[in-house]
Amino acid sequence: MRKAKTLLSVYLAYMLEYRAELFLWALAGTLPLILMGVWVEAAQSGAFPLSPGEFARYFLMVFLVRQATVVWVVWEFERDVVEGRLSFRLLRPLDPFLDHLAAHVAERLARLPFVLLLTLLFFLLFPEARFVPEPLPFLLGLGLTVLAFLLRYLMQYTTALLTFWSERATAVEEVFFLLYLFLSGTLAPLEVFPEPLRSLALLTPFPYLVYLPAAFLAGQEVALFPGLGVMLFWGGVFFLLWRLLWRLGLKHYAGHGA
């Protein structure tokens, strides 16, 4: 417990050193708010399953979920391996997975005030998007957001481990990001996807990283199952992959001159 507290407090201090950058990073995540404008306008025609107000709420929640689930561990890990700093992490009796995770959680805390500020500004500009959430779906949405963050972190950390072989795992992550952008519900809620694509998307891990938590938070009518089951399934798959790649990767790293 003390370990977690100290890790968080030191990383929080570290993140707060970059206050201005944090604000810019939060601002850089406002793509959903721009898309919201497009979809709200399109929804005026009434040709979509969501009303303009529902679209506005959905994209606001997409913005918040994405702020809460930003992950950059692949860039950090790649730099550690290429610059040889991974050695220091390996010499400590703490798995680098947890070390990086603590830094991500701390960043979340440091980012929170900026995100709240942007949300307030949003409600001020779009009064029609204001709503009082139902407590249960909202709490479920919060829980799913935490799970979404953990899954995204696990997926990206697993990708990062490819650095042991290719030294440029970020290239693989870029491909993943493209899939994430299309299938996660960042560009459009899954309700508007054409049918075969929608069912297919729901089998991948991506909609559970954004769409499912955002839909719950926005108070849309969505089912928890089988979505949560698919999410946990992918969690299990990436967990096993992480452990396997870590073991093989360390052997490879240690075999090739570290």
Give the binding site for other proteins (CB under 8 A). 2-3, 5-7, 9-10, 13-14, 17, 84-85, 87-88, 90-94, 251, 254-258
Q: Cβ closer to other proteins: 18 or 123?
A: 18
Residue 147 to residue 213: CA distance in whole angstroms: 9
**Hey, what amino acid is at 94?**
L
Q: Cβ closer to other proteins: 25 or 177?
A: 25
In angstroms, what is the minimal distance from the CB of 250 to other proteins?
Answer: 8
In angstroms, what is the minimal distance from the CB of 198 to other proteins?
Answer: 40
DSSP annotation of 85 reads: T
**Exposure pattern of 95-109 as b/e (b: 16+ CB <10 Å)?**
ebbeebbbbbbbbbe
Under 8 Å between Cβ of 115 and 67: yes
Two tokens, residue 74: 């692949």
232 contact partners, CB below 8 Å, separation of at least 6? none
Residue 243 to residue 221: CA distance in whole angstroms: 37
Q: Cβ closer to other proteins: 13 or 116?
A: 13
Q: Cβ closer to other proteins: 83 or 195?
A: 83
In angstroms, what is the minimal distance from the CB of 244 to other proteins?
Answer: 17
In angstroms, what is the minimal distance from the CB of 17 to other proteins?
Answer: 5
